[in-house]
Structure 1
């Protein structure tokens, strides 16, 4: 049974934005979340857990990218969250580094 056409994205730009946000944006966000966790928690534990939880988080972020109506808004949210978690990573490595 084919999908109902009224629910499909007709714009090529939106389709490309959703696909790239799902693959690239989801991967960047899941990676930087685990980097932020590693900068504040035990690095070995986060590294071991991130092999499984990183993939699961990436798949969840892929699904969320395709559920949205606007692919550019999804890109904006993913990039904003990536910047926030990159800042948390920077703060964690600055305050938790041993000199």
Structure 2
């Protein structure tokens, strides 16, 4: 019995979901951990990020595949990465010793 066409996505959607899951999830994970390293003790954040980074990356990858539109996921992940990057920038201005 063939698959129902309404459940199949196009090749571009599949590409967007895969790249958003792997690359976008990685960008959000790294920028998030770097942003919180300016709020909390950066040594503790770096040590715990080995575990929490993998968990967050895996969750973001699963969420990318659960979404209907991969390009919207890319947009959300890019906005989150820009937001965390702005927090990093402000953190470097107000606390330049950590950098």
Q: TM-score, normalised by structure 2?
A: 0.89
Q: Cα RMSD (Å) of the superposition? A: 1.4
Contact 1:29 1:81 in 2 (8 A): yes
> Take 2:71 and 2:18, find their aligned partners in 1: how far apart are those partners?
11
Aligned to 1:28: 27
Query: For each residue in 1:50-71, what CA deviation from the matched residue of structure 2 results, as whole angstroms up to 9, or x when unmatched?
Result: 0000000000000100110000
For residue 41 of structure 2, what is the aligned residue in structure 1?
A: 42
CA distance in 2, matches of 1:23, 1:78: 11
Tell me how far apart the structure 2 counterparts of residues 46 and 61 of structure 1 sit (CA, whole Å).
19
Q: How does 1:35-74 map to 2 (within 5 A)?
A: 35-74=34-73
TM-score, length-scaled by structure 1:
0.89
What secondary structure does 2:96 align onto?
Answer: coil
Whether contact under 8 Å (1:40, 1:96) holds in the other structure is no
Structure 1 residues without counterparts, runs of 5 or longer: none
User: Does structure 2 retain, via aligned residues, the 8 Å contact 1:36–1:85?
Assistant: yes
Contact map agreement 1:33 1:85 (CA 8 A) in 2: yes
- CA spacing shift, 1:97–1:20, aligned 2, 3 Å: same
Write the distance in 1 (CA, Å) between the matches of 2:15 and 2:8: 10
* Structure 2: gaps (5+ residues): none
Q: Is the 8 A contact 1:14 1:70 kept in 2?
A: yes
